Structures are given as structure tokens and as C-alpha cells.
Amino acid sequence: MQERTATSANRRLLSVDVVRAIAVFAMFAAHIGPPAKPEGAGYLLVAFDGRAPGIFTLIAGLSLTLSRGGTEPRPPLAGTLRATLVRCAVLAVLGMALTELRSGIAVILTFFAVYFLTAEPLARLRTRALIAVAAVSVVLGPVLSYWLGPYLGHRTIGRGRYPGFDAVTGWSGFSEALDTLLVSGAYPWLTYFPYVIVGMALGRVVNLTRTGTARRLIGWGAVTVLAGHGLSALALGPAGGRAALLDAIARSHAFAMNAPDPVQAVLARQAGAIPSTSWAWLLVDDPYSQTPFETLANIGVSLLLIGLAVAACRLQVLELLLRPLAVVGTMGLSVYALHVLARAELEPQHGWPALGAFCGISLVGCVLWAYTFRGTSLRRGPLEWALHAITPIRKAPPTPESRETRKALTLRG
């Protein structure tokens, strides 16, 4: 029975690592791959265009919940808050250091530090409360981002930034960093933290080791994707949303009026979330638009991928084939950091050869690393090992029995 349970748990973690690896490779595609065009192999890039950050952050929330008991949440270990603070500080410093390389990549790690820091209180919520917060955040986050835009100087443009070390060199840098991290950055808290909350809630309600879970996830994912893209299409078409957007473009984005598609011309210049010139912008579902419909569709794709990975890992042949990919997922932090470094130093040309090389080298390198350091703590990856090593050890809270035993021993001594 214990052996069967261990096998199920391993498959659960394997499926999560596989999806994390897919998200990493999707980020590679965004940073060094060819343009996402609906032709040939480009359809695959179109399908994943703009989805990698959402998948990556949702998996982070799911992993956080699984590490704390999943559907049977455990009380937080003593020292959890201190360990979280240390991890977040390290991620923030690493993210800012990678930003200083000027690779042209919008580094997500500093944003992740904020996600994990604010996830800690939510991890203590009851399951129903967590689900409610997740559902509300998918809509409320983008709405607040839109509403706050004009007050922070981002009515038409000025989004999509990411902080470097200048964020900690003075009050002006600090206040700008807060704006970037929370509202106007490439992956701001208001519009990307909902993915983390959804992942946390998913880990509470879905047992990835049970038969039937894969079918449910695939079904939920398909419905959610269709809802996100379908409702957006209805809102922009029959409901008149596109007409409202064209009016807003004529008033505030005159440069785009002569473009073949004025809406796409405006979004192409945003480098971040939608502009705050018409509430109708919240109806689009374009990649990186950070609207409720885009968020909903990306959540659906994440559920689909997790469901497919869970189903695949139940088949022994597919499980063996996916293990190398899962190894990449276990070293996601190291692989991500190294690809930023390589992009900065090598400045590769965007295209299929560069994308294939990055993915292939990452896959082979991670497998060789895991094999070389098997049986040691280094097997988890260089940066993963370092982060684990400097994080304070968390201890289980003492039980009443252990307190009485310690008291008795003290009195006896």
C-alpha cells in the first residue's frame, strides 16, 4: 500500500514538473523563437503565445499547495514565514541581477518574489475562502489595473517595465518599483497573482493521484478556454465592444487609425496591459493583454496541460518518455536564469534553430546534471540547491505530547 502511494505521489509530481518544463520552453519560444504566425509549425507558437507566464505562475501556486498537503492541508511549519522571506529576498535579488544584464527579456523573478510573499497569508485560508478569492481576483485584478492606470501615468502607454537594482537606490526608484511590481510592470501583481491563487485553490480541490482527475481537468480546461475566448468574441462582436474600441482609438490613439487593424496596432505598442482609454479594452483576449478573458483562457490552457500530463504519466511508456522533460521542470529556476544569461551574452537570432538549440541543450544539460549528482542534494539543480541551502530550516510545530515529554525531561534533569 505504501509503495502504491509513493508511486502515485511520484506521478503527481512528475506531471507538475512536465507542465513546468513546457512553460519554460514556451518562454524560450517567446524570447528567442520565430514570430507566432498561423502557418505550419507556427500554429504551435500561436497556441502558446502569451501563455507561458500564466502557466508558470499557476504551477507555482499549485506546487505551493501540494508542498503543504494538497487536498489535506497541514498546519504551517515553525519558521515558514522566515523561510519565505529569505526565498523572496533571494528571488528578488536574482531577478534584479538578471535584469541588469540587459538581455531584452522581461525577467519575471522579481515579480515572483512578490507573488510568493503575498501568497503566504492566503495559504492559511480555508478551501472555500481560497476558491472565492481566486474567482474574484480573476476579474477584480484586471479591473483595478485598468482603473489605476491613469492615476499612475499609464493611460495610453508606459507599461511593461521590470525592475533592476535602481529600484533600491532611493525613494524615487522604490516608488517606481512598487508601481512596476504591483500595477504597470511586465507581470504585475494585480493581473498575474490571480494565476497563483487559482493554482493554490486547484491544489486544494483536485487530488492528482486519483483516477478520473485527468478527465476532469481536461474537461474543465476545455470549457474554460472556450469561455475565455468565446465570451470575448461575443463581447467584441454582437455586443458592440469593437465599435467602442474604435471610438476610443480615434480619440486617444490616432496613430493607429490607418492601420489594417487599429485594435492590434494599439495593443502592439503597449508592451504590457491594455491602455486605460475605454472600459471596452477589458473585453479583449489578446496575448499579454492582462484582461479577465485572457486570464480565463490561460487558466483553461493550464488545466488542459495538467490534465494531459496526469493522463500521460499513468501510462508507463509515456511516463518514461516524459521523465527527461520533467527533469527540466525540477530545475526551472536554473534553466530560466541560464537562458537569460545566454541571451544576453550570445545575442542569438530569433528563429527555429535558436529555439531548438536552447531547448535541446537545456534538456540534455538537465538530464546530465541530475545523473551526475544523483543521490545528492545537488540533483535538484544549481540554483535550486543554493536556494534550498540558504533557506532557514522549518520545523513541525511541537505536539502536546512532545511538550509534556520535554517538560518531564527538564524537571528530571
- The pLDDT tens digits of the residues spanning 23-38 come to 999 999 999 999 888 8
86: confidence class by pLDDT, cuts 50, 70, 90: very high
**The pLDDT of residue 215 is above 70:** yes
The answer to whether residue 283 scores a pLDDT higher than 60 is yes
Exposure string for 228-242, b = 16+ CB within 10 A, e = fewer: bbebbbebbeeeebb
Grid coordinates given for 44: 504551435
Q: Which amino acid is at 264?
A: Q
Q: Looking at per-residue confidence, does 412 or 292 come out higher? A: 292
Q: Give the separation between CA 66 and CA 13, rounded to whole angstroms.
A: 9
Mean pLDDT of the region 288-298? 96
How confident is the model at residue 75, as a pLDDT? 76
150-161 per-position pLDDT tens digit: 999 889 887 888
What is the C-alpha separation between 61 and 199, in angstroms, rounded?
4
pLDDT band, residue 8 (cuts 50/70/90):
low
Strand partners, 185: 161
Q: Outline where 151-212 has alpha helix (H).
A: 171-179, 189-205
Sign of the alpha-carbon torsion through 284, 289, 294, 295: negative
In tens, the pLDDT along 320-332 reads: 999 999 999 999 9
Mean local confidence (pLDDT), 146-171: 84
Check: CB of residue 370 under 8 Å from CB of residue 336. no
The span from the CA of 410 to the CA of 394, in Å, is 24
| Sign of CA pseudo-dihedral 49, 50, 56, 58 | negative
